[in-house]
Structures are given as C-alpha cells and as structure tokens.
Chains A and B, each alone.
Chain A
Amino acid sequence: MASVRLASLTKIFGQVNAIDNIDLEIDDREFFVLLGPTGAGKTTTLRLVAGLEKPDQGQVYLDNVSVNDISPALRDVAFVFQYYTLYPHYTVRQNLEFPLKPKFRRLSKSEIDAKVSEVAKILHIESLLERETVNLSGGEMQRVAIGRAIVRTPKVFLMDEPLSNLDAKLREEMRRELTRLHLDLGFTFFYVTHDQIEAMTMGDRIAVLNQGKILQIGTPDKIYNWPQNVFVAKFVGSPTINLLEANIETNTLVVGKKTLVCPIPESQRNSLKKYTKRELILGIRPEDIEVWKEKKKADSFKCTVYFIQSMGVEDILNLRIDDIVLRAVASPKLLTGVGDTIYASINMKRSHLFDPQTNRRL
C-alpha cells in the first residue's frame, strides 16, 4: 500500500503539453479517480506513474520516494487496461499464478495456491479457475484481469477505463464490485475514466482533467455541488446542468430580454454587488427547477413543454420560455404532454454563478 504524489509533472508530445504541470496527492488506501474527456491526458498520467513514460519535467513519488529513475517492473504497481490482456490459452488459474511465479518472489507452491484461491473468492471466479480464458465472457475476462493485478498485492493499483468495453448492465454491476473490492482490500486505487458516473459512484476523490490541466480536485459531493468552473459543471451530472447568460440588476439575475428574472438569495446579494451590470453565466442543475401544472408559487414562471425525455424513474422536461430552453427533472406522475403550459421555479439557493471571461466560479 502506498501514497502517490505528482509534483509539477509535465509530459510533452511534439508540440503538445499532454500533461501540463500537474500537482496531485493520492492518500494511502484512497480510491482516486482521474476524470476527463478523450485526449485530456488521463492515460498519459497513469503511464507516467507506472513508469511506461518518462516525464519531461517534475517528479512521481510513491510513498514519498521519487521513482523517476526506477524501472516499471520495480515500482511495484499493477495496471489493468480497457482491453483484457490475458494469456488466451492459459487457464484462469495459470493466468492468476503468472505474476507470482518469478523467482525473486520466493513463493512456494502452497503459498501461490492460497493466494490464487483467496483472489478467486474475492472476485467470484472460483468456478472458472480451470477454464481457458478464451472461453470466458467479457465480464469474466475483466474479473480475471483484475485478479491478476491484485494477486501480488501491489503498492498501487492503476486502472485505465477497465469497464468501458463492457455492456451497460455489466458495467453497472462491476462498478459496485470495484467499490466493494476497494473497501475489502484497502489498496490504493488510481482509476482513469471519461465516464462521470463511474467517477461519482466509485471515487473517494475526483480530479477533473482537461487539456493536460487539472481543473478541480474534490470529493464527489464537492465536484457536483461546488463546481469550480464551467467545464466541471457541464462535465459532471446527468442530465447536464443548464447554463444561461445573465446580468445582475438590483438584486435579481436577468436572463435574455427579461425572459427570466430570478431573485438573488439575500445571503449572496452583498458578495455579488461588485458584478452589477456585468454579464455572468448562471448554472442551474435540472433537479433544482421545480414544476407544477398550476401557478403555485409567486416566483414561478410560465413555460411550454417543448419535448420530454423519459428516464423511467423521472422525466426530463425540456421547457421553452421565448428562445430559452431549460431542462428540468419531474416525476412521471406529473403527466404533462408536449405543448402543455406549465409553471416552473428555480431554487436560486442552489444556483451556480461563473465569470464568462475566466469560466471560474464567482
């Protein structure tokens, strides 16, 4: 088990700073997720930790020891990839034994057997041990790949989108298994994904990465409820946050030509005074808009149902007010239809404000 620290880490490919001066600390036994879109630099970061790439600047520390000059094999990290890298004509047992076989590990046959059974039990693959890996399903193969990584108790467990090739149902199931596996094993997990649901559900903490830069590090709760910039607000959460251009005018936020006039909560009025007459970005999560068939609240506004996206447990209502479209989440029991007039109100206490120049939270 180990902590991981990246200090001023930079990696350049040609003209591009794939990793641009990032600092990051992962605690011992933490489940840490690096989240970002394709091309953000996630995989490069993981490869730098594993030693598969050399940084152009900065240091990688494992347990406060710089490992820049230590070869990948001796860093004692384990890597699980998106594509299963198993020996196809070996049985599951032989695949699991393989990392334990090198002479320098000095393990006896019975010690190896014991480790393999323990890992097989944790991953529910005991019944598969004598099968050849070519005969396994995708989910089973990924379990074996994970098993091969954990069997030798590495210092850090690196995972590069290990679930992205599985179908939706299996992905969901494996998410829970990985969360539980982390609780049971207590290893340090460094997990990379482009899927915000994986990050939110599994991570103790999340770092959001874009274009080689870290935009925010925090618990899922902080990332979701206190996004520090527009990119994070938009990338995390489904359905996506509503982002509207707004102006502050005497204690209200005005969207469009008074299409929407939202009162600023008293607690925020003073701190926002200095932004008066300036353009801002107002962010509202769809669940923070409440809707009714009748006008129930003084501050509610009239809108038309443009289209509805059913999610089963809830409906996403796409509401139209003049030329603005707002996403709101409602119970299917509301029973509205396309073209209906309904009333909505925004919970301004949970709104997010950003500076359009810097994209930063105010």
Chain B
Amino acid sequence: MADITLKNIVKRFDSLIAVNNLNLGIKDKEFVVLLGPSGCGKTTTLRCISGLETPDQGKILIDEEDVTNKRASQRDVAFVFQLYALYPHLTVYDNMAFPLLAQGLSRKRIRQEVDRAAQVLRIKHILNKKPRELSGGDMQRVALGRAIVRRPEVFLLDEPIGTLDAVFREEMRAELKKLHVDIGATTVYVTHDQVEAMSMGDRVVIMNLGVLQQVGTPHQVYNKPKNLFVANFIGSPGMNFINCKPSRGPRGKLVLGLSVVNATVAIPDEIQRTIIDKEKEEKDLVLGIRPENVMFSQKTKSNSLPARVYVVETMGSYNIIDVKLGDETIKVRTAPSIVPDIGETVSISFDPGGINIFDEETGNSVA
C-alpha cells in the first residue's frame, strides 16, 4: 500500500516560486504523470516526494504518514533519472544486485530477485555484459531493473526515456505501462512530452509556472481541457483555436460569430445556457476544436465554411490537412485516401460534440 498526498506544497528557489501551493492525491497503485513545459515545477514536485528537496510550506504524506521532513533514504521510494547512472565497471547483474547487497540480503535471495526483474524486463540474456556493451534502450532497462529489484512501494521516474530515439521511445512507453500493470507499484512519472503522459498515465497532472492547471484521466484532459493552456499543450496536432463573439442567430438562438471570416457557428443546445452571460457581457471567446472534429468535404455544402487547402501531411494511417479559413490555419484530420490539391477550395464544418469554448481574457473553459 502506498498512496501519496501533497498538501499545500510551496517550494521557492530564491525569489522564484517553483511550486505554488500544490494539492494532489495519488492513489495506491496509480500511474500518475506530472506534465508541463520546462520550468513548470514538475521535477521539483517529484524531488519533494522523493525527499531530495524539502518543501518550504505544506505537507507530504505517504500512507497517511507525514514524511515531509524525512530523508530520502527513510522513504520507501525508488528514483530513476533521465541519465542511466549505471556503474560502468560492474556487469548488468552486479548493477542490479547492488541495491540488494546494501540491504544485506542473502546471495540466494539476491539471485532470485535479480532474475525476477530481468525476466520482467526481458534482459536475462545480457546479465553478464558491461554497460558500455549495451544499446541505449537496454541501458535504460537495466536502470529500471535496478529500481524494481528492491520492490519499492513507490516509483519516481524523471524523464527516463527522453534521450532515446523515437522508435525506442515508443517501445519503452509500452514496456513501462506493461511493467506497471505487472508489478502494480504506485508510480509518479515526470515528462514534458504529452504523448508519454497520455499513453502511460492513469491520470495526468498538468502544470505551468509552478501552478496546477488540471488533473484528470487522459480522456478528460484531451476532451474537456479546463483552459487554453491545457487545450494547447495536449494533442498532436494541437487543437484549432478561432476567435469569436456570441451573438443571436435564427429563432433567437445563440451562435458564435467568427472574427476571421464573416460566418457564424451554431452552439449546441446543451451549452446555450452557459453562454448567455458571456453574451450579456459582450465577452470575446475562443472556439476550440480538435482536428478530428473538423468535417471536411471536397464538395460545396450548405451550413459549412469555404476554406483553401494549404498543406497536406500524410501520416500513413491518416492525413492532416491544413486549410486556410481567412488568414487562420485550421488543421483537419482525414482518412488517408483524402488527398486534395494545394489551393483547392473545400468545405469545412465543426462537429457540435467536439466544440470547446474558452473565455479569451482568462483562458478558462466556459463550455
């Protein structure tokens, strides 16, 4: 059992507030990813959990025990860094056995534990090799192996696969997720890569400039981002944003008047009410729509907007087409068979279920 609670954590470095009043609960056996750009406070948060940093304010509880002032060695956590940090003169086996020797286990037990970890990580065949004989992926597996041999309650990982090639990174993403399913330890993982966060996390914690932006499952942060920062940070290609203003359309219904072209977009019935206040206040809004929620047609259609094809990107299993709506670029995801000509006039419309609306001034989601 290991759940982790962060209560009102503040960490300053001189005048810089690296982490600003962070509250977060991590459940036992959960895989939580701290995600954000560099300087967002994610690594500092992780270091506070590990005991390598002490927060200036607030409390850290592991299984309801206050560990805020305990040293790293007194907490049952294992830390894997971005760099491999292996002993170059020791074999893979000895590198992995090292943390267990320090615990004073018998040689037989050590052999069992190293074998078990090597089995899980599929590195049994390289146990007698030295680190310099290994590929980057294998080195990272050994570093993970050294962390899992001692069966810690909590795993802390700081960008462990950031330095690998794309193909290896994808393989390691799947392996780390699988490892978590197999051994089921509470895992806190730090990254700036939203693909890693989405594809591995049970929940994703998005931070910016020391401040928590949103906590949620990958589906929640992707489909219902709380603000423009999250909406922009999650997803590849990113969400499309179009400036607009609420106004009255046919039969008194609220519509969004786009500023980039002379056109309006209907607002789904479910969110009509939440926009009423914004209309009264004459607020500037931002319409957010993901590329897969933009409907694309090479025929002229009513109730759709004319746009010009700017760039076509083929991805193999789908295409991303950039179209120009006035001066604004809109990204559209289509089937791989759709390959329009550059400059061609096409029709786009928005799937009502995929419409997000943000307040332009605060950046917060209003619907």
Contact = CB atoms under 8 A, between A and B. Distances in A.
A200 B316 contact: yes
B128 to A, nearest CB: 25
Contact of A183 (B193, B194, B292, B342): B342
Nearest to B217: A310
A179 B313 contact: yes
Contacts of A234: 167
Interface in A318-360: 318, 327, 329, 332, 338
Interface in A170-200: 172, 175-176, 179-180, 183, 194-197, 200
Interface in B218-270: 218-219, 222-223, 232, 234-238
Contact of A220 (B167, B174, B311, B314): B314
Interface in B304-354: 310-311, 313-317, 320, 322, 333, 336, 342
B236 A168 contact: yes
B222 A200 contact: no
B199 interface: yes
Nearest to A203: B314
Contacts of A327: 174
A200 B313 CA distance: 8
A278 B315 CA distance: 34
Contact of B171 (A172, A196, A240): A240
Contacts of A201: 313-315, 320
Interface residues of A, number: 44
Most B Cβ at <10 Å: residue of A176, A221, A285, A318:
A176
Contact of A176 (B192, B200, B313, B316): B313
A307 B182 CA distance: 10
Most B Cβ at <10 Å: residue of A167, A221, A237, A238:
A238
B200 to A, nearest CB: 7
B181 interface: yes
A200 B342 CA distance: 17
Contact of A316 (B166, B181, B199, B236): B199
Contact of B194 (A168, A224, A236, A287): A168
Interface of A: 37-38, 167-169, 172, 175-176, 179-180, 183, 194-197, 200-202, 220-221, 224-225, 234-240, 285, 287, 306-307, 309-313, 316, 318, 327, 329, 332, 338
Nearest 10 interchain pairs by C-beta:
A310-B218, A309-B199, A312-B222, A201-B313, A224-B316, A287-B317, A307-B181, A310-B198, A176-B311, A313-B292
